[in-house]
Structure 1
Amino acid sequence: MDNQNPNQGGRVMRRTQHTQLKNNKKHFSWWKKALLGIIGFFVLIFVLGAGLFMYYAKDSPKITRTQLASDNATVVYDANGKELTRLGAQNRDYVNRKDIPRTLKRAIVSIEDRRFYKNDGVDPIRIAGAAVANVTGSSLGLQGASTLTQQLVKLSVFSTDASDRTIRVKAQEAWLALKVDKEYSKDQILEFYINKVYMGNGVYGMQTAAEYYFGKKLDKLNLSELALLAGMPQSPTVYDPTRNPQYATARRNTVLQAMVENKEISSTDAAKAKKVSVKSGLSSTHGTLDTSKTKDKIIDPYLKQVLAELQKKGFDPNKGGLKVYTNMDYGAQKEMYNLANDGTTIQFPDDKFQVGATMVNNDNGKIVAMLGGRKTGDVTCGLNRAVQTDRSSGSTAKPLMDYGPAFQYLNWPTYRKVKDIPFTYPGTESPTKPNGIKLYDFDKKYEGTMTVRNALIQSRNIPAIRTLQDVGMSRATEFLKNLGISQKKEYDLVNGIGLYISTLQEAAAYAAFANGGSYHSPYYISKIETQSGKTYKFGTTTDKAMSAGTAFMMTSILKGVTTDPMGSGTAADIPGLNVASKTGTVSYPDSIANQYPSDAASDSWMTGYTKNYSLSVWTGYDHANTPTGFLTQQQTTIAQLVWKYMISYMAQSSPNTDWTQPSSVVSKGNNEYAFAGKSYSNTGASDLDSKNNSGSASSSASSNNGTNSTGTTTGNTTTNGNNSVATSPFTTR
């Protein structure tokens, strides 16, 4: 038996306990350090966050009572900075807090900010809850991180665009919300909010929304209707009961449920209100709104395009707070509107007779004025005939597609000889038309050989199409593209006397002739300022479309359209004023021409310019192929008169400057010009077709196999939108 030290077991036990205690101390020390580290980390984050918050907050914009109480409309200005309109502002009926139903207040608080009466403008609990929801993916479905006060600040001062939701903006928004909460009572804040929110359809404020959707004041609405309005600001378009009743119903029910959970109404009341259709009680006339004030008829077509351009640039005018500065000359816009509608300066045949027109600044592409129609009644944002592209431009196409390219690519002088002899469109022979489709001029005569100058001034069709043959379709297409004109379908010869383009496109294209060859893309908006203070500036894109020599020689010819006794636009002559222009008149295809007088036309154009402005005018009827939808020969001059009076009006406030001959052009006497040092050919592709080079000026058109006698091109097939005529031509002058 071994002898054992009686103290040995105790020593072993004490060593074990000591070791365990030491290990426990190490374990506790590790957790203590970790805990302190975590606390220190959060303290550091808090300090840094507070510092960053204060750094951003110190630069917060000022917020005034006027900003809080004002409407949140987008404001549109003219070129001189004068206010044109406030989008939606006319549709606001301000309601004082004493007249706001308590039920509406409680509905808004329940769905938007349940702790509204307890927080100080910013709610840390909601911020934390929203952060958890973002991490976990939980909907926590009813509310985000922003309080009602923060939402009011955002609507009053900051942009609501997602791109502007930065840490800086959120910090400043929170800082201002704290200030607003301290300065104003909760009921005042609710009053501001209820009167400021966008409610869809150009309507701001819930009082106005009550009138718009239900035809009643707020205090006359029932629980179901008030709950609907309370939920709409989150997405007014989606929750519009007139357009999306299914989504509107779901949103209203969500609000009702929130009110139950917030102990504002009973479950029984909520269930009863949920059974009511959101379509029940909707107003078909939009209540007491004065819709005649929502759009100024004078600026309506221009404003329509401004709104489209805003959206194209990524701005939503319905979110409000934008300041939109346009290029509109309001004086010119008003003059153009009155000229078309007052019936005193120009006599129109009836109220259905229509006009579309666009004026641009030659030097920068700014769209100065636009007319979308006349006698349009109470219709707003309707058909804008200034930008429609489904009507042929007639002979106004000749400078753009025929003679312009001939100067530019073939170095033609203004006195180059062209033929006006019998012409058949190549490839149009068929069993029913063995001789093909003939092209005639307005007088059904042939002038033989003539200069480019005389052919264009007199608007002869055959020389123009023969010129296009010499130019070639690829070069003509390139020239058009340089002027901002294109189409999906390939161009054909018929387009040489009629393009399917708008007055906007044509005015911008002719401006390149006026300014020496530079094409400026036309634009409406010069500057946009957001509610948060950001400024976006816009301008034109400029491309060299042609040489200065081409532009000058074209201008020298187009001057004679109104002044030459044989010119096609003598009704627009303005003695003493330096202008250049071209007419375009389109007749009916001979398949239906016998239904109309021999001189009937479907469309009439006048496009031209001074050194400062270019103006394109279209006239006609919306439905041209009706018994009364045609223009008489006398009525085709109305386009010239509209152009004449508008150009004269603009000349009153701009210099009457003539064009300067560039060094690349030399004078050959008798008002004829040529390119210095350039050679050209007196023959071209048009001379290679024996069939179209065997006639003479002594020939006279007799059969009605392609045109009538109006001086506008005709044919046997219809047009196809903005594409060219498929097989048969129309005449034009």
Structure 2
Amino acid sequence: MPRKTNPGKKPRHSQIKKRSKLKTALLIILGLIVLAGASGLGLFIYYAQSAPKLTYNSLSSDNSTKFYDSKGKLISRMGAQNRDYVKSADIPTNLKNAVVSIEDRRFYKHHGVDPIRIMGAATANVTGSSLGLQGGSTLTQQLVKLSVFSTAASDQTFKRKAQEAWLAIQVENKYSKSQILEFYINKVYMGNGVYGMQTAAEYYYNKPLSKLSLAQLAMLAGMPQSPTNYNPYKYPSYATKRRNDVLQAMVKNKVITSDQATQAEAQNVQSGLAKTHTKTNTSLKTAKYIDAYLQDAISELEKKGYKVNSGLKVYTNLNMKAQKSMYKTANSSTTIAYPSKNFQLGATMVNVNNGKVVAMQGNRKTKVSFGLNRAVQTDRSSGSTAKPLMDFGPAIEYLKYPTYQPVKDTPYTYPGTDKSLMDFDNKYQGTITMRKALVESRNIPAIRTLENVGVDRAQGFLANLGMKFDKPLELQNGIGLYVSSKQEAAAYAAFANGGTYYEPYLIKKVVQSNGKTTNYKSKGKRAMSESTAFMITNMLKGVMDSSDGSGTAAKISGLYEAGKTGTTQYPSDYLNKVPEGSSMDAWFTGYTRHYALSIWTGYDRQFKTGHYITQEQSKLSQEYYREVMAAASANKSNIDWQQPSDVVQTEKNGKTEYYVAGYPGTSTDDSSSQTGVTADSSVTTAATTSSSANSQVTEPTTSGTTSNSSNNNYGGSTSSSNQTQVPSGSGSNGGDDDTDDNATTDSSTDTTSSSDSATSDSSTSDDDNQTDSNTTTTTTTDTDNTDNND
């Protein structure tokens, strides 16, 4: 029989206890939720009360970012002079629909803050289902962010979000949806120094918005999320995908049909792009001079987490006189005979004592703003300028080679291959000294030296100089590294200052619209010993002032300086298409106690008929150095390098040579009796096997014996007897920033904080001459608009 149940039976005591605990737990959770909500609401109200004021001017203005040179002079006002404001009635309906569809589909339904949108974005972030089309902020919140807040990633705090939401609600209560959309379309940053979509239409297409196709309008609507990555000139594939995302969002929002989207997607994203721009990044008179420098400064600014369209004040290390000198030498020199307008160059000058990039030239005879900046490109081999960095510098550092180290200039084949290495003159000089090999830029002794050092140790030496590579280096890189002039100038600066590497930087201070100020400096680190830096410098002097030196065309009379040449030869299968001795690239990197300057010269399309560099034209980089460095050094003290205490001077074959104290086979108390060591000394490492070199890198040389010229005056101190004023020479068109006019600043009502007050400049106490050995990034609240301490 089935068991009878008693419907009136009371639950057991244990069941009652469990239910009571569950009820209590639910009440506690509910209470915590209520408490958290109340606390959150209270905190929201507290933060909202301290929100900044929002005015019509802040919503409608361009919110431009201003850039200043090292003297505090305004050099660029990004967007202020090249923004064409477009009223709502003149904005195409397709553009309005595109912006709303991709940025905020519920724009016409919410009141500034959209809880549904926030929950959807949060869910998508947790589940990973987001297509990357929309985030949690409404279009109105984005407008508020662009108008009154910093867009730096570090400022994305709860306080900022609360204030942003509160102000968005206020904007919605005061302005119509049409006007809010008008504000946004006119304010967003569109890349290349352009603000607002009307100006962007003129910049990218040389047309007003009303004349653009659906596909073109969709591309513009998608750009504000990431103007750099969606630049159709540089990244057409990314731009295409983003444009198509916009079109599909419009289909989903039912403002265009699928057929319209398909037709628009079939249009090449680069179709109709302007070849010349009627709108440039700035209307200031300095625009043509600072193009490359400003472009790299913007890149550095974005890497620090800032958005250009944030109303920032950016103070740079730009020495305007040096910059103008570099520009004029590249474009209107009366002493340098460039072969054609297609002949290009990229050059960077850094302060050797602190890493400040003081000038940068990215091209010549180019009128397009923010074009290819050849000063920072890393797709061309540096030729023999790599030898001090990868071969001989590490040999002194790790193997204690003296300057008179015997090295072999004899027939050589890369290990494991049948690829022979030759010098430009196709000759061998037998056993020679390391000094002679470097001064005359002999390839074979350099690679044999690298074998002894070992590629791994050499690559570590390069890493200490800021040069890191995606793939392991090989032996042939000892005569050619794929680096930029910016990297090489900073690396050679470590030779100049006694072995300390400073990462090159352009921006020294950023002042945000709320007054928050962040100062930047490069923290120096020991990259090599003082003895290595001194001995490399001592040998590199001979490159410029020895009769057999490869860089004599760069020599500035009376100036203490050192440097290295570099050329790259065409691949063997192309040699019959160019005159004998022609090169693809020609470099020169040189330095003084104050500045390092690295120059690449060549053609963008080096394999095009006629785009080769003759032996004579390979000296143009040296001539550029000579003219620019003479100008930069005209008002600087002329100081020789001091011999470190652990470096011993000796005489070898009537020449002054140097070695590190304790070098094997030497006596530190009787240097005159030193004996040499055998070629490729007993201090060796296993040879590193490399694959066949892609191209043969050579250097033009003159046979003969290295003379013991004036490069032996190395032991002088920095006393007045060893400091001379450099003749102005060809430096009449530029020079030191110290002689600049009084700094001028923009006319905003900023105040200067006592902790960051401006100081006057003088020729003997500028920041160019100060070494930042222990530097950090500091942040303060400040609205300073001048910074005259160069």
Tell me, yes or no, if the aligned pair for 2:407 and 2:434 is still in contact at 8 Å.
Answer: no
- CA distance in 1 between partners of 2:189 and 2:483 (Å): 38
Mark the CA change 1:357 to 1:492 in structure 2 (over 3 Å): closer, same or farther.
same
Who is 1:376 aligned against? 366
Which among 394, 402, 423 is matched to residue 411 of structure 2?
Answer: 423
Measure how far apart 1:516 and its partner are. 0.5
Greater shift, 37-46 or 561-570, is seen at 37-46
Indicate the SS of the match to 1:656. strand
- Aligned AA (1:476): A
1:355 paired with 2:345, answer yes
Q: Deviations along 1:624-645, whole A, 9 cap, x unmatched? A: 4455232222212111101111
- CA distance in 2 between partners of 1:197 and 1:476 (Å): 47
Who is 1:300 aligned against? 291
1:444 paired with 2:442, answer no
Q: How does 1:74-153 map to 2 (within 5 A)?
A: 74-89=65-80, 91-95=82-86, 113-114=107-108, 127=115, 150-153=141-144
- CA distance in 2 between partners of 1:234 and 1:463 (Å): 54
Tell me, yes or no, if the aligned pair for 2:202 and 2:278 is still in contact at 8 Å.
Answer: no
Tell me, yes or no, if the aligned pair for 1:412 and 1:680 is still in contact at 8 Å.
Answer: no
Q: How does 1:107-256 map to 2 (within 5 A)?
A: 113-114=107-108, 127=115, 150-160=141-151, 164-177=155-168, 192-198=183-189, 204-208=195-199, 244=242, 246-253=244-251
1:329 paired with 2:314, answer no
Greater shift, 89-98 or 651-660, is seen at 89-98
- CA distance in 2 between partners of 1:74 and 1:575 (Å): 43
Tell me, yes or no, if the aligned pair for 2:567 and 2:698 is still in contact at 8 Å.
Answer: no
Measure how far apart 1:609 and its partner are. 0.4
Q: How does 1:605-616 map to 2 (within 5 A)?
A: 605-616=587-598
Which among 485, 489, 495 is matched to residue 503 of structure 1?
Answer: 485
Indicate the SS of the match to 1:638. helix
Mark the CA change 1:190 to 1:343 in structure 2 (over 3 Å): closer, same or farther.
same
Which among 379, 398, 402 is matched to residue 391 of structure 2?
Answer: 402
Greater shift, 491-500 or 514-523, is seen at 491-500
Who is 1:263 aligned against? none
Who is 1:725 aligned against? 693
Who is 1:545 aligned against? 527
Contiguous gaps of at least 5 residues in structure 1: 1-32, 258-269, 431-435, 690-719
Who is 1:683 aligned against? 677
Measure how far apart 1:558 and its partner are. 1.7
- Aligned AA (1:398): K
- CA distance in 1 between partners of 2:574 and 2:679 (Å): 33
- CA distance in 1 between partners of 2:460 and 2:270 (Å): 54
Tell me, yes or no, if the aligned pair for 1:77 and 1:85 is still in contact at 8 Å.
Answer: yes
Who is 1:385 aligned against? 374
Which among 664, 672, 675 is matched to residue 657 of structure 2?
Answer: 672
Q: Deviations along 1:650-699, whole A, 9 cap, x unmatched? A: 1134332222222222333654333234435843573689xxxxxxxxxx
Greater shift, 274-283 or 436-445, is seen at 274-283
- CA distance in 1 between partners of 2:391 and 2:205 (Å): 59
- CA distance in 2 between partners of 1:288 and 1:422 (Å): 52
Q: Deviations along 1:542-574, whole A, 9 cap, x unmatched? A: 332211111112212222222222322221121
Mark the CA change 1:135 to 1:510 in structure 2 (over 3 Å): closer, same or farther.
closer
Contiguous gaps of at least 5 residues in structure 2: 1-23, 233-238, 667-675, 684-689, 702-790
Indicate the SS of the match to 1:605. strand
Mark the CA change 1:183 to 1:725 in structure 2 (over 3 Å): closer, same or farther.
same
- Aligned AA (1:247): D
Measure how far apart 1:422 and its partner are. 3.5
Measure how far apart 1:580 and its partner are. 0.9
Indicate the SS of the match to 1:672. strand
Indicate the SS of the match to 1:346. coil
Mark the CA change 1:162 to 1:328 in structure 2 (over 3 Å): closer, same or farther.
closer
Measure how far apart 1:300 and its partner are. 3.4
- Aligned AA (2:278): T
1:59 paired with 2:53, answer no
- Aligned AA (1:114): Y
Indicate the SS of the match to 2:534. helix
Which among 636, 656, 666 is matched to residue 618 of structure 2?
Answer: 636
Indicate the SS of the match to 1:299. helix
TM-score, with structure 1 as normaliser = 0.71
Mark the CA change 1:189 to 1:467 in structure 2 (over 3 Å): closer, same or farther.
closer
Indicate the SS of the match to 2:598. strand
Q: How does 1:243-282 map to 2 (within 5 A)?
A: 244=242, 246-253=244-251
- CA distance in 2 between partners of 1:542 and 1:363 (Å): 9
Q: Deviations along 1:389-444, whole A, 9 cap, x unmatched? A: 44333332222233222322233333x252565333365786xxxxx836446373
Give the superposed CA RMSD: 4.9
Q: Deviations along 1:518-560, whole A, 9 cap, x unmatched? A: 1222233434455566555544353322111111122122222
Mark the CA change 1:468 to 1:271 in structure 2 (over 3 Å): closer, same or farther.
closer
Mark the CA change 1:59 to 1:397 in structure 2 (over 3 Å): closer, same or farther.
same
Indicate the SS of the match to 2:593. coil
Indicate the SS of the match to 1:619. strand
Indicate the SS of the match to 1:506. helix
Mark the CA change 1:479 to 1:429 in structure 2 (over 3 Å): closer, same or farther.
closer
Tell me, yes or no, if the aligned pair for 1:497 and 1:731 is still in contact at 8 Å.
Answer: no
- CA distance in 2 between partners of 1:381 and 1:686 (Å): 47
Tell me, yes or no, if the aligned pair for 1:411 and 1:680 is still in contact at 8 Å.
Answer: no
Measure how far apart 1:111 and its partner are. 5.4
Indicate the SS of the match to 1:642. helix
- Aligned AA (1:579): E
Mark the CA change 1:680 to 1:324 in structure 2 (over 3 Å): closer, same or farther.
farther
Who is 1:557 aligned against? 539
- Aligned AA (1:437): S
Mark the CA change 1:641 to 1:203 in structure 2 (over 3 Å): closer, same or farther.
closer
Who is 2:16 aligned against? none
Indicate the SS of the match to 2:583. coil
Tell me, yes or no, if the aligned pair for 1:211 and 1:289 is still in contact at 8 Å.
Answer: no
Greater shift, 674-683 or 476-485, is seen at 674-683
1:572 paired with 2:557, answer no
Tell me, yes or no, if the aligned pair for 1:393 and 1:500 is still in contact at 8 Å.
Answer: yes
- CA distance in 1 between partners of 2:604 and 2:223 (Å): 40
TM-score, with structure 2 as normaliser = 0.67
Mark the CA change 1:424 to 1:66 in structure 2 (over 3 Å): closer, same or farther.
same
State the aligned residue count. Answer: 639
Tell me, yes or no, if the aligned pair for 1:497 and 1:732 is still in contact at 8 Å.
Answer: no
Tell me, yes or no, if the aligned pair for 2:188 and 2:224 is still in contact at 8 Å.
Answer: no
Tell me, yes or no, if the aligned pair for 2:413 and 2:420 is still in contact at 8 Å.
Answer: yes
Q: Deviations along 1:364-396, whole A, 9 cap, x unmatched? A: 2222222233223437432x3333344333332
Tell me, yes or no, if the aligned pair for 1:228 and 1:251 is still in contact at 8 Å.
Answer: no
Tell me, yes or no, if the aligned pair for 1:572 and 1:640 is still in contact at 8 Å.
Answer: yes
Who is 1:523 aligned against? 505
